[in-house]
Every structure is written in C-alpha cells, then in structure tokens.
C-alpha cells in the first residue's frame, strides 16, 4: 500500500492564513454570491472578472462516485505535464488521486470552501501546490446539473526556489563545474556553473566572478586544491571521490579542507568543508595521547610507534639507527629524601637536559616509564651515539643537581645503555630494545653514572 503523500487541509478562517490575493478574492466573491442562495452558482466560473484566472482554474463535475475535469487551466497543465480536460480524477494516477477525491468530497459534503497544500507528485518544477476548492450550484443550461467544483491551483513553492534556499543555508562551500571545449573541440577546462554563499565567503569571490568563467582563471586557490585529476576521474567513472587538502591562507595560516566530488551530467559538483578546527582538535588529542604530561616528552606509546617506524626506515635505507636507554641513578632515594614533588621537578629538569643534548629534529626523546628515558637517533652510528651520551654525562655533572642520598655521587647522575640496529636476520625493534636495555643493566652493575655499549 502506497504511503499517503504529505498534505495540509484548512477549513476555517482560510483568509487569515493565506497570502495569495487571488485566493482571498475568489473566497470573498464566493461568499458574496452565496448570501441569497444555497450555494454559489456555476456562473462564478464564467464571470468576466475571472477570465484572467482561467489558466489557474479547474472546473470539475461530479458524475456518480467520480469527478470529471470540464476545464483544466493551461498553467496547471504546463506544470503538471499534461491536460486533463475531459478526463476523470482517477485518470490522474499516482498517490495524489485518493487525496484529490477525499478533498473534493469533503468540500461538497460540508458545502464549504477548502484550502489545501500538498507536495507535487509529478511536476518537475513545482515542489508544493496550493488549492482553493469551492463548491458550486448547478447551472440552468443542459448538462449543467449536479454538483460542481471550482478549484484554483497555483504553485506555492518551486523546486528551484527550494534548492536555492538549501544552497543558501548549506554551511559547506559548493561549486558546480562543467567541462567545456572551444569551437574546434579543444579542451578548455572547468567552467563555473553554480556557487553558494558559503563558497563566496570561503574564497572571497562573488557569483558574477565565477559563473561562466574558467575556474583556473578566477580561483587563485585552484592549483593548490590539486583536484583536477579527481574531477576528471569522477566525470569519467561517474563515481564519488573524497580527498583532504591543506591550504595556506593569506594570513599564513593552514586551512584543512575535506573535499567531496560527485558527478553531474557533464560536470562535477564539489563540496568543501572547512575541517581546520576538527584537524586541530585531532592534533591536540594526538598530542595529549602521545605526550608525557609531566615532562612534555613523548610517552611510551609514542616511543613504541616511532621505534617501529625508524627500524622499518633503517631496514629499507640501510642507514644507521641508534637507541639510548637512560635511567636516573638512585631515584627512589631522591624521592625518599626530598619528597615526590621535588622528584617530579628532578624528572622535568632531567628531561630538559636530555632534550638539549639530543637536540636534532630527527631525534626522538621519550619518557619510557618512571625514571627511565629512551632516545632514538636516526642516521647515527654507535660512535656518534656514544659521543652524545658522554656529553649527557658531562652536562649532568655540570648542572650538579643535589642528591645527598645517592650512593653514587652527591649530585644527580644517570646510567646509559647504547645499542645500534644491525639490520640482519630477525633483528628488529624488539631485539634493538632488548640489547639497549641489557647495556643499561651493565652500566648499573658496573657502578652507575656511566654508559655501556651493547655487545
């Protein structure tokens, strides 16, 4: 069973809710003619004052359980794609037939005007229709007996108006393009067809500056969007594509755009969503998820991810990769002597010193857990890693952070283990980490405050 199409029916105080002056005049005249009669006469349709309205009027005669169109206005026929004159309402077909029958019977049964609004079921241009249904008395001429209805029909909202409203209200920037050629068939590129207010706001262009022009000539950001190939593929395959692009604004800020490209008959429609806030939020979340809150260094999760990536890169490139594991000596004794707040300060200061020594952009410095730290040194062999670690030992001595409870020295010291990626057999991140940790253990066993190299 078909779903009933949307409609609205108004029986009382029609003149108070309708803005159309033709509806108001028809309604007023119907009431005037009816004052001394049981029903307004059929002559209402033939009145000279309504001749101009005939293109928007329908005249129906009730014949048994059916209604027959005796007049079908040319304007209604134009929008409905067909003239129903001489045909029955049931010939109209579609989901509206039952609604038409019900509203016509309602008007006759109550002998009162009826105003309705309904969604169009067949018109390609009309979205909603308004109708005023007026019951009429039979005429005196032969064939004019029985029940008659005068129906005024008028498009209340056109589809293009609705689409324009949707385009205007859409927060995404929309750009419709057509692929065009010159008179000799040479490809010229993409011509602008439609843009919405969100597009003009995003790129600072007016409609008259885009529509009818090649987009490459009027949109300075077109090369940076780099979607020419995606547009062509969308047009050829009739598929949908989604890409993300980063633009540098005139204020030297990065703008992230999520771009959807869908096919049109001979072009494409592009939807651009400014996702800068979302991307920045994701970056902040990523930073929070991968950063140690106390020291500001990368956390264990970040280090594990980077270790895996750097081992893969070193295996492909053949370049050296070193790993340094560090552990603050006698840190529990430091906490017991100074308290945990001072211990946190010590970890922060150690992290700053570590970051200042292993300061290259490629270096990955992380808090591995507790008082243990890890450093990845891409492109660095064992000698370079040992030299940097020795420099770290010297920096700690120079900083001379007091540690009276240490059995090693009166200042904060640390032990270090260094291992390098071998790139052979089953050697990987697990093996590299194990060998660096073993070297760190050797440094502790040898008296701490020193660096040991993995075998």
Residue 449 pLDDT > 80, yes or no?
A: yes
Q: Return the structure tokens found at 326.
A: 């560090």
Report the distance separating Cα 103 and Cα 109, nearest Å: 10
Note whether 235 and 262 are within 8 A (CB): no
Report the distance separating Cα 288 and Cα 86, nearest Å: 75
Task: Pinpoint the residues of the chain covered by CATH 3.30.70.270.
Answer: 291-453
Residue-wise pLDDT tens digits, 303-321: 999 999 999 999 999 999 9
Half-sphere exposure of 349 (CA within 13 A, CB side): 16
pLDDT of 185 reads 81
Is the model's pTM score more than 0.75?
no
Terminal CA-CA length for the chain? 81
Report CA-CA distances (Å) from 363 to 224, 350, 376, 388, 435: 31, 17, 6, 12, 19
DSSP summary character for residue 90: G
Helices first, then strands: H and E counts in the chain: 16, 16
Report the distance separating Cα 41 and Cα 24, nearest Å: 18
pLDDT of 142 reads 64
Task: Pinpoint the residues of the chain covered by CATH 3.30.450.20.
Answer: 7-158, 170-278
Report the distance separating Cα 334 and Cα 197, nearest Å: 64
Residue 67 pLDDT > 70, yes or no?
A: yes
Strand positions, DSSP E, 120-214:
126-136, 148-158, 173-181, 187-195
State the average pLDDT over residues 393-419. 96
State the average pLDDT over residues 262-273. 93
Sign of CA dihedral 19, 25, 26, 32: positive
Rounded to 5°, the CA angle 119-123-125 comes to 95
Domain 7-158, architecture per CATH: 2-Layer Sandwich (3.30)
170-278 topology per CATH: Beta-Lactamase (3.30.450)
pLDDT of 382 reads 95
Q: Kindly state the percentage of the chain with pLDDT values over 90.
A: 65
Residue-wise pLDDT tens digits, 340-369: 999 999 999 999 999 999 999 999 999 999
**Top-level class of domain 291-453:** alpha beta
Residue 2 pLDDT > 60, yes or no?
A: no
């Amino acid at each position: 069973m078909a779903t009933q199409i949307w409609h609205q029916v108004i029986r009382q105080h029609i003149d108070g809710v309708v803005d159309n002056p033709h509806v108001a005049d028809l309604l007023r005249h119907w009431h005037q003619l009816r004052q001394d009669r049981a029903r307004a006469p059929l002559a209402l349709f033939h009145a000279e004052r309504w001749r101009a309205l005939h293109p928007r009027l329908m005249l129906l005669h009730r014949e048994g359980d059916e209604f027959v169109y005796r007049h079908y206005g040319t304007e209604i026929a134009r929008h409905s794609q067909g003239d129903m004159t001489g045909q029955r309402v049931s010939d109209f077909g579609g989901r509206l037939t039952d609604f038409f029958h019900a509203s016509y019977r309602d008007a006759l049964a109550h002998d009162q005007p009826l105003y309705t609004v309904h969604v169009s079921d067949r018109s390609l241009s009309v979205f909603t229709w308004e109708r005023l249904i007026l019951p009429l008395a039979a005429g005196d001429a032969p064939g004019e007996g029985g029940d008659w209805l005068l129906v005024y029909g008028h498009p209340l909202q056109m589809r293009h108006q609705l689409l324009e409203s949707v385009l205007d209200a859409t927060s995404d920037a929309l750009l419709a393009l057509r692929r065009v050629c010159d008179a000799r068939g040479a490809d010229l590129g993409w011509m602008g067809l439609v843009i919405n207010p969100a597009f003009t706001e995003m790129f600072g262009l007016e409609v008259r500056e885009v529509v009818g022009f090649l987009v490459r000539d009027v949109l300075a950001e077109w090369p940076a969007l780099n979607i020419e190939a995606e547009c062509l593929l969308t047009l050829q395959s009739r598929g949908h594509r989604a890409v993300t692009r980063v633009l540098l604004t005139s204020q030297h800020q990065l703008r992230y755009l999520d771009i959807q490209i869908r096919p049109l008959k001979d072009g494409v429609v592009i939807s651009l969503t400014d996702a800068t806030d979302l991307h920045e939020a994701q970056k902040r979340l990523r930073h929070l998820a991968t950063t140690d809150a106390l020291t500001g260094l990368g956390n264990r999760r970040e280090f594990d991810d980077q270790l895996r990536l750097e081992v893969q890169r070193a295996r492909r490139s053949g370049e050296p990769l070193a790993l340094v594991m560090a552990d603050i000596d006698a840190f529990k004794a430091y906490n017991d002597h100074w308290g945990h707040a001072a211990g946190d300060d010590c970890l922060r200061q150690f992290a700053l010193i570590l970051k200042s020594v292993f300061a290259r952009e490629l270096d990955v410095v992380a808090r591995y857990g507790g008082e243990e730290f890890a450093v990845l040194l891409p492109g660095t062999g064992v000698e370079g890693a040992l030299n940097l670690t020795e420099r770290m030992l010297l920096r700690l001595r120079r900083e001379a952070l007091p540690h009276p409870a240490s059995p090693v020295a009166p200042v904060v010291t640390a032990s270090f283990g260094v291992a390098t990626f071998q790139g052979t057999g089953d050697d990987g991140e697990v093996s590299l980490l194990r060998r660096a940790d073993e070297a760190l253990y050797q440094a502790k066993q040898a008296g701490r405050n020193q660096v040991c190299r993995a075998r």
